[in-house]
A and B are shown apart, each in its own frame.
Chain A
Amino acid sequence: MELLKRLFEEKGVRVDWEAYERLTAVLREELEWARELRRREADWSYIESRPEPLRTALKLLVETGDLKLASKLCSIPLDELNEERIKAKIPIVVVSLKGDEAPEGA
């Protein structure tokens, strides 16, 4: 965080650090929960049955939740990968930035 603060300061960027710390704490918790949800809900036998590079792209998607990243790194068109994602039962998870209580189910 200190490194980030210094970087932004050097660039003359004004940041509401109090809000940043509060929101990112919730976001990190939500992202971890989302990763677990993707791992749990993914149809692993379907994923393992796919040819490369699709199989790697789907595994990357489970871990990162980043469809565009997986699409670019594995050179698979975005819409094609999205269709495969739905077949592989990998959810895109929309998370919260505002904390109330520990995350649970979707």
Chain B
Amino acid sequence: MFSEIKREPARSFAFALAAERRLLVVPRLETVDALALRVLELVNADPSLPPIDPPEAYALAFAKHAGLPLLTDNASPKLASLTLEELKGVEVLDSLDVLRALYSGETLLRAVREFAEDTGVRFSARRLRELGVA
């Protein structure tokens, strides 16, 4: 996934985060690779649903392996974690989950609005209601 960061400002930002120990660059592990390949095949088995690519499949498998949450706005990894036995227990968080963990009340509403303006990311009404934001 790190190789996908092409531009210098983004790479510099990532390196600065790593230097501050706020970003962990994970090497590829054979034990995780096997699950990642399986996840890739399973999640992409239904072509009518959003696909995941190999780096995201690896991230999902690594989240399972390390007991860490996976951050993604793609709904398919969350669907997989809720339905596939092999991925049960993996916490998959989207941007709204993260904002809700950071803020509450009026501040949360403002943060959601500002996040949407800055990034062009929008949350469906259902998703907002699901987390009690709307």
Contact = CB atoms under 8 A, between A and B. Distances in A.
Contacts of A78: 4, 6
Interface residues of A, number: 49
A66 B76 CA distance: 12
A92 B120 contact: yes
Nearest to B55: A68
Interface residues of B, number: 38
Contacts, number: 119
B121 A13 contact: no
Given A97-B82, A104-B125, A106-B124, 18 more contacts: A4-B46, A13-B85, A13-B86, A14-B84, A15-B85, A23-B82, A24-B49, A24-B79, A30-B126, A34-B124, A66-B51, A86-B120, A92-B121, A94-B73, A94-B75, A94-B95, A94-B124, A100-B130
B127 interface: yes
A53 interface: no
Interface in B1-45: 4-7, 10, 41-42, 45
A11 to B, nearest CB: 8
Given A79-B7, A94-B96, A27 B75 contact: yes
